Amino acid sequence: MPQLTSGHEITLLRNGEQFFPALISAIDASVDEVRLETYIFHFDRSGESVAHALVCAAQRGARVYLVMDGIGSPPVPPQWVQTFAQAGVSWQCFSPLGRLGLLVPVRWRRLHRKLCVVDGRVAFCGGINILDDRWDMHQGALESPRLDFAVQVKGPLVREIHQAMLQFWTRLQATKAIEHLAFEQARQTLKQGKVAVLPDAAAHKHDMGLRAAFLVRDNVRNRTRIERAYCKAIADAREEVLIANAYFLPGRKLRHALMHAAQRGVSVRLLLQGRYESFLQFHAYRPVYGKLLAAGVEIFEYKLGFLHAKVAVIDREWATVGSSNLDPLSLLLAREANVVVESRPFASQLRTELLHELQTHASPLVAQTHAQRPWTQRCLDHLAFAAVRCFLFLTENRY
């Protein structure tokens, strides 16, 4: 289980409206280094503002490193390729599809985490992509901003986040060197990435008892850290479990943890995506709702706009904010990152935000209504669910 440590200052950021000004302000104040990872980097108004801040940082002499996912991000516009090159911004596209696309199973492993570290003094982690709140890659312009969260982190935890990003960058560089048969260069690159050269981040004196941990999920040592953290916190819950998650298809262990919590009298409420985004997203998740509802779990579907949050609050003290959905893609294949916070003030703030959305912009899912949905919809649900099971079989993962 994650070791929670003290001495951190963690600020909750809601939506791009709060996230982008904080991120750009930190980059604008950079002196030595900026590292940014994201699933989607879209060169819309918000994306260009971040890109401009990165370019200015590089022109001032800061080292700037950017990684974006090869599926999530559209191609970088040619003018920005040139601008990055002229400014000295180092950027990579993680695992481009190539000619065979998703027919190659290794391509299913995506970079889904959203992280940034500036000068080793401030970090960002959450679910917010470099994408305008009112724009969707598939739906176009949105009437309402998507609901999402991130955190700004100061203190010792920044060093852990920086180390994870440094290791990932050096592995990408080493992989590129190996592809070009530069084995000695690859060995030296990996060696350089083992130790982050950073000043010790000072602990904040007024953290009011806040403790935190940084969790990553990858396909090497940290395959189940985020899922196990959820299961442990839910198993320990005494009063309340409140989860908001965009793509929710939990595995057996997590489903049982939620059902057992509800059956022992814990209030378990889930705020889930209520709008159609894709066939699998809308249909594959619904077959698991029946058992959860029967066990006493309350499910609410968000209706105002698109839900993109991946957060939770348990017993008004334990909270997590990050990039990890509770579905097979996030918990079995993608690179994810969450921050876990143990703090009543922080948890209460996030809980207030979630309860407001749940009570004003969501509709409860009634067990009887769910069971009596049209047979055509039930057929589509089970067809989509079977497709996910087939996908899991191909990946040779138990879930």
Burial of 295 (0-12, 13-18, 19+ CB in 10 A): middle
What single string gives the DSSP state of each residue in 279-304?
HHHHHTTGGGHHHHHHTT-EEEEE-S
The number of CA neighbours under 13 Å toward the Cβ of 53 is 26
Which of these is catalytic: 308, 327, 361, 381? 308
Q: Is 327 a catalytic residue?
A: no
Which of these is catalytic: 8, 162, 310, 361? 310
CB 113 within 8 A of CB 338: no
Q: Is 310 a catalytic residue?
A: yes
CB 217 within 8 A of CB 334: yes
User: How do beta strands 240-245 and 310-314 pair?
Assistant: antiparallel
**Element at 233 (helix H, strand E):** helix 225-235
Residue 53 identity: A
Q: How far apart are CA 185 and CA 135, in angstroms?
A: 41
78-91: buried (b, 16+ CB within 10 Å) or exposed (e) per residue?
eebeebbeebebeb
CB 67 within 8 A of CB 92: yes
Which of these is catalytic: 133, 148, 315, 381? 315
Q: Is 114 a catalytic residue?
A: yes
Sheet containing 90-94: order of strands = 9-14, 149-154, 122-126, 114-118, 33-38, 63-69, 90-94
Q: Which two tokens stand for residue 292?
A: 């959860």
Which of these is catalytic: 8, 42, 69, 112? 112
CB 322 within 8 A of CB 339: yes
Which of these is catalytic: 8, 42, 119, 381? 119
Q: At what angle do helices 45-59 and 78-87 cross, to 10 degrees?
A: 20
Strand segments, DSSP code E, in the chain are 5-6, 9-14, 33-38, 63-69, 90-94, 114-118, 122-126, 135-136, 140-141, 149-154, 211-217, 240-245, 267-273, 298-302, 310-314, 318-322, 336-342, 362-364
Q: Is 112 a catalytic residue?
A: yes
Which of these is catalytic: 114, 154, 283, 361? 114
Q: Which residues are catalytic?
A: 112, 114, 119, 308, 310, 315
